[in-house]
Structure 1
C-alpha cells in the first residue's frame, strides 16, 4: 500500500514505470513472439507426429 501511495505522489516514478511497461510490451509482444507462443500452445494440444 505504501508503494502505491508513493507512485501516486511521484510523477517521475510513474513515468519510469510507464516507460518500462511500454518497453516490456514492445519487446514481449512482437508478431514473431506471439506467433511462436501460439505455435507452441497448439503443438501441445495437437502434437504433429514426426516421421522416423
Structure 2
C-alpha cells in the first residue's frame, strides 16, 4: 500500500510494481472497500491510523 500514498496514479503504481494499470486500480479500489474509504486520501489516512504504513 505504500505506493498509493506517493503522489502517483494507477499508472505510476503499475509501473513501479510491474503489473497492469487495471490490476493496480483494482488493488486500490479493493483496499478502499475493505477500509471503508471514499477516496485515496482517506485510504491513506485510515492506513496510517491503523499503522499499515508509516509516513
Q: Is the TM-score greater than 0.5? A: no
* Larger RCO (CA within 8 A; separation ≥ 6): 2
- Structure 1 length normalisation: TM-score? 0.34
- Structure 2 length normalisation: TM-score? 0.33
Greater Rg, structure 1 or structure 2? 1
Point out the structure with the larger helix share: 1
